[in-house]
Amino acid sequence: MKRSQMFTKTLRDAPADEVARNAVLLIRAGFISKQMAGAYAYLPLGKRVLDNIVQIIREEMDAVGGQELLMTTLQSRDIWEKTNRWDDAVVDNWFKTKLKNGTELGVGLTHEEPIVDMLRLYVDSYKDLPLYVYQIASKFRNELRAKSGLLRGREFMMKDMYSFARTQSEHDELYEKAADAYTRVYDRLGIGDRTYRTAADGGYFTERFSDEYQTLSKVGEDTIYVDKTKKLAINKEIYTDENLAKLGLVKEDLVEEHAIEVGNIFPLESKYSDALDLYYTDENGKKQSVIMGCYGIGVSRLVGVLAELFADDKGLVWPKAVAPAQVYLINIGNDENVVKNTTELYEKLKAKNIEVVWDDRDARPGEKFADADLMGIPYRVVLSEKLGSDTVELKSRTAENAELLLPEQLIKKITTNA
């Protein structure tokens, strides 16, 4: 990818209508474009970050046996009435629309009902269970306020997975497997050390606790109490002596923190499966309820979380696992040999499957360096007449000083540390 061929540009000033740090940085760096409050377009570099996060999540959901599908955005009113979730008095953040014949439809805000209704065609025997199905797709929620950039959107990307089990013990096993997969996702994203499995209210789904995954951040909307030794937390909403005792947490060991919810998992019991007539026949020919769980991760929210957490006064600082490229390549000046050497290095990096953004513009060195920092790509590599034909300058985005290397040493170092 060459900067001279990219239609996007970086901005020196923050957008006047944005107050959230994550959105300000991502817009300035040319990763996203604001379409309206709570809705953002992903530009080429931002789409790469989003795709890298998606791939990590997909790999971990597949590893526990998840089967990926893609449901429709438009949803039938009938199935939602069966679970009593169509009425705005029950669910107040619907987007709804109508067909020309007046038939009302919902615009997907979650997919428990459509997926359960569909599975009635495929699940009828104990031999068909257990299973996980999941999708990674856009969701739409009519939020009253959308002032936190990607942290709270009206249109956003979400991974939602659903488990279907024959017994409570089988459900518990699936639930914990999914919880372990979530831990691996956050570890791979570089936020595992500050993300806590957090007990929360199970709502009207269950008398059990649900689990949130909360990442510590001063801009977080949630208040949690953390036991950093046990790596567990409890949401303020259920912070009572009784619940602390159930969880084995001791008040004196807990620290109050602000956090951003980056995922949640819920035991659903048989609320939706019973309401929508999804049952299975056991080994004795008896009809039994299907025990469900649901597991959500806000994918686009994670882009915002990483932008909030991994940034400094110069710009973004992407973890290598999600960065849009590994190298920001700069040639200083238009000397024929420098351009030739830069072109050769660009091709060598690509041949090694190292993603590169080459700033080949006719621009001042300071402008190129500033853009490299703003975009937050892990390595900046510079070639110039001053360095000579055999030497390149390598600087990590998080390092204070650069080092001089031969091109072969550079490639080895980047591939080793990728």
Please report, for the domain that includes residue 54, its CATH number: 3.30.930.10
Same domain (yes/no): 77, 213: yes
Same domain (yes/no): 378, 306: no
Same domain (yes/no): 181, 115: yes
Which of 256, 285, 312 is the last residue before a domain boundary? 312
Question: Whole domain around residue 375: which residue ranges?
Answer: 327-417
Share of the chain above pLDDT 70, in %: 99
3 inside domain: no
- pLDDT band with cut points at 50, 70 and 90 for residue 417: confident
- pLDDT band with cut points at 50, 70 and 90 for residue 205: low
Tell me how far apart the alpha carbons of residues 150 and 155 are, in angstroms, rounded to a whole number: 9
Instruction: Look at residue 334 in the predicted model and tell me its pLDDT.
Output: 85
* Encoded amino acid at 89, one letter: A
Q: Is the pLDDT of residue 400 over 90?
A: no
The answer to whether 326 and 356 have CB atoms below 8 angstroms apart is: yes
Instruction: Look at residue 265 in the predicted model and tell me its pLDDT.
Output: 96
Instruction: Look at residue 386 in the predicted model and tell me its pLDDT.
Output: 87
Tell me how far apart the alpha carbons of residues 282 and 189 are, in angstroms, rounded to a whole number: 41
Q: Is the pLDDT of residue 389 over 90?
A: no
Across residues 280-305, what is the average pLDDT?
A: 97
Instruction: Look at residue 207 in the predicted model and tell me its pLDDT.
Output: 78
Tell me how far apart the alpha carbons of residues 46 and 28 are, in angstroms, rounded to a whole number: 12
The packing angle between helices 168-189 and 44-63, to 10°, is 140
Across residues 356-375, what is the average pLDDT?
A: 94
Same domain (yes/no): 306, 343: no
1 inside domain: no
- pLDDT band with cut points at 50, 70 and 90 for residue 321: very high
Q: pLDDT digit string (tens) for 37-68? A: 899 999 999 999 999 999 999 999 999 999 99
Written as six digits, the tokens of 297 are 């991760």
Q: Which of 19-23, 130-134, 139-143 holds the top average pLDDT?
A: 130-134
Tell me how far apart the alpha carbons of residues 186 and 174 are, in angstroms, rounded to a whole number: 19
- When the pLDDT of each residue in the chain is averaged and rounded to a whole number, the result is 94
Tell me how far apart the alpha carbons of residues 374 and 370 are, in angstroms, rounded to a whole number: 6
Q: pLDDT digit string (tens) for 225-277? A: 999 999 999 999 999 999 999 999 999 999 999 999 999 999 999 999 999 99
Share of the chain above pLDDT 90, in %: 86
Same domain (yes/no): 238, 205: yes
Q: Is the pLDDT of residue 206 over 80?
A: no
Same domain (yes/no): 198, 84: yes
Written as six digits, the tokens of 152 are 């709270």
Q: What domain count does the chain have?
A: 2
Instruction: Look at residue 218 in the predicted model and tell me its pLDDT.
Output: 94
- pLDDT band with cut points at 50, 70 and 90 for residue 418: low
Q: Is the pLDDT of residue 303 over 90?
A: yes
Q: pLDDT digit string (tens) for 70-111? A: 999 999 999 999 999 999 888 889 999 999 999 999 999 999
318 inside domain: no
389 inside domain: yes
pTM: 0.94
